[in-house]
Amino acid sequence: MYQLNFSDQALAALKRLPKHAQLALMEQISAIQPDELDTGADHMGRFSREGKIFHRLRAGEFRIYFEAMDETLFMHYILHQHSLADFVFRFKLPFTEETLIEQHQSFWKYLEGLKK
């Protein structure tokens, strides 16, 4: 069993979910086995970026990007599938906090409000 650590983004994304969805995600994250990281599995992906090995867990409608470090899994991002942020990160495009802000609905409402 791994120790789980979360980035600010991943923790905030987890907290925004309903309790039952939080528990379901935590159950899937906690069930990750070392052999799944080494050999891969149907619900797991793996890629390298900036010298780090990232793993992607497909958990229902979410994609969890994490890094395995000894006995710790560090969750970098929890993103909704088919979102702009997921696409950008998966295809190694430049990814910033601004990208996360732009995908949030309130950002677009704010821009619409500036027109008035």
- CATH code where residue 103 lies: 3.30.2310.20
Q: Give pLDDT, residue 73.
A: 92
**Number of folded domains that form the chain:** 1
Residue 43's closest CA among 60, 68, 66? Answer: 60
pLDDT of 16 > 70? The answer is yes
Residue 49 vs residue 84, higher pLDDT: 49
pLDDT, residue 75, reads 92
pLDDT at position 93 is 47
Give the model confidence (pLDDT) of 61-90 as tens digits: 888 889 998 889 999 888 877 766 655 665
Residues in Cβ contact with 79 at an 8 Å cutoff, skipping those fewer than 6 apart: 13, 62, 63, 64, 65, 85, 86, 89
Reply yes or no on whether the pLDDT at 43 is more than 60: yes
116 touches 100 (CB < 8 A): no
The type of residue at 6 is: F
C-alpha to C-alpha distance for 88 and 99, rounded to whole angstroms: 8
Q: Indicate whether this model's pTM tops 0.85.
A: no
The range of the structural domain enclosing residue 88 comes to: 3-115
Counting residues of the chain whose pLDDT is more than 70, the rounded percentage is 68
